[in-house]
């Protein structure tokens, strides 16, 4: 079957046309649909299942989160899920199997990476499930950047690590497909191929033009800046970044998330 024909097939078409949505209509997402999305997430490949999801539905809780991170439009989505790495429950399960187990040690790099990858696949399954139900979504990293505040606000127990918010709802916008690296830079056969500076530079230029043409930063961040300038500032190594990294690393280590 030709690739062009395959691209039009049900789920493949859904995945190829997926875009992050930041503005949602007020149409509610019922509890039955929310549970179905989480159940679909659970069908992702797994061994440890070290994740938990908390639906944030209480208006007062939403208000307190906005106080932490600011009034970002996705936080008003009908369905907001806090995705946590749940080392607490996993450790309890391990204790039922073996008194001395790896989560009682300070070093378990292989398992930690595997648990994080499982969580990512769990989230992606939920995202695709939402798309299949004609719902949009966006992933926000506020909990990862402010884990102390999120933990205190939600009263999370030790070793339950807040990482991401998954905001889901009926789209109230139809943004264009955003740029991605060329397939030739990502897909390798038999051995790794180092991309040229020209390939990478061309991608950055095309991404800059596309985001600027969309008015991405003005629309979502109320910023009058070029996308490449914003990206360069975002990845810059400075004092603010070092302070944030130190604070987050301290919290993650105290939660048992070590690599």
Q: What residues are paired with 165 via a beta bridge?
A: 82, 140
Question: How confident is the prediction along the chain (259 residues), in pLDDT tens digits per residue?
Answer: 576 777 777 889 999 999 999 999 999 999 999 999 999 999 999 999 999 999 999 999 999 999 999 999 999 999 999 999 999 999 999 898 988 888 888 788 889 999 999 999 999 999 999 999 999 999 999 999 999 999 999 999 999 999 999 999 999 999 999 999 999 999 999 999 999 999 999 999 999 999 999 999 999 988 999 999 999 999 999 999 999 999 999 999 999 887 7
Alpha carbon distance 51, 259 (integer Å): 18
Please report the sign of the dihedral spanned by the C-alpha atoms of residue 105, residue 106, residue 110, residue 116.
positive
Q: Which helix (H) or strand (E) holds 163?
A: strand 160-169
**Helix 147-154 with 59-69: angle, nearest 10 deg:** 160
Token pair 């191929």: residue: 193
Alpha carbon distance 241, 259 (integer Å): 20
- Domain residue ranges in the chain: 3-175
**Residue 39: helix, strand or coil by DSSP?**
helix
Phi, psi of 125, rounded to the nearest 5 degrees: -60, -40
Buried/exposed 101-128: b ≥16 CB within 10 Å, e otherwise: bebeeeebeebbeebbebbbbbbebbbb
Token pair 């999801």: residue: 53
Q: What residues are paired with 239 via a beta bridge?
A: none
Using CA atoms of 150, 151, 154, 155 in order, give the dihedral in degrees to the nearest 10. -160
Give the per-residue pLDDT at 63.
94
**Residue 152: helix, strand or coil by DSSP?**
helix
Alpha carbon distance 5, 116 (integer Å): 34
**Residue 138: helix, strand or coil by DSSP?**
strand
Compute the half-sphere exposure of residue 155: CA atoms within 13 Å on the CB side of its CA. Answer: 2
Question: Degrees (nearest 5) of the Cα angle 230, 232, 236?
Answer: 120
Alpha carbon distance 201, 194 (integer Å): 14
Alpha carbon distance 143, 150 (integer Å): 6
> What is the layout of strands, in order, in the sheet containing 51-55?
51-55, 79-86, 160-169, 136-140
Cβ neighbours around 38 below 10 Å, total:
20
Give the per-residue pLDDT at 259.
72
Instruction: State the CATH architecture for 3-175.
Output: 3-Layer(aba) Sandwich (3.40)
């Amino acid at each position: 079957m030709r690739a062009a024909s395959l691209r039009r097939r049900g789920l493949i078409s859904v995945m190829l046309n997926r875009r992050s949505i930041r503005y949602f209509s007020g149409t509610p997402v019922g509890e039955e649909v929310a549970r179905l999305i989480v159940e679909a997430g659970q069908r992702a490949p797994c061994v440890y299942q070290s994740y938990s999801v908390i639906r944030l539905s209480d208006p007062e809780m939403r208000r307190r989160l906005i106080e932490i991170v600011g009034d970002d439009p996705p936080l008003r989505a009908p369905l907001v899920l806090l995705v946590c790495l749940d080392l607490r429950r996993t450790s309890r399960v391990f204790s039922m199997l073996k008194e001395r187990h790896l989560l009682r040690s300070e070093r378990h790099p292989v398992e930690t990476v595997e648990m994080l990858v499982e969580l990512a696949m769990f989230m992606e399954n939920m995202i695709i499930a939402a798309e299949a139900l004609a719902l949009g979504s966006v992933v926000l990293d506020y909990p990862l950047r402010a884990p102390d505040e999120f933990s205190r606000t939600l009263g999370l127990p030790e070793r339950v690590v807040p990482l991401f918010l998954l905001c889901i709802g009926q789209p109230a916008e139809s943004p264009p497909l955003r740029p991605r690296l060329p397939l030739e830079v990502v897909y390798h056969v038999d051995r790794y191929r180092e991309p040229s500076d020209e390939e990478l530079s061309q991608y950055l230029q095309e991404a800059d033009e596309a985001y600027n043409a969309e008015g991405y930063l003005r629309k979502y961040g109320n910023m009058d800046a070029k996308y490449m300038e914003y990206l360069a500032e975002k990845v810059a190594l400075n004092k603010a970044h070092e302070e944030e990294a130190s604070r987050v690393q301290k919290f993650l280590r105290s939660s048992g998330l070590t690599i």
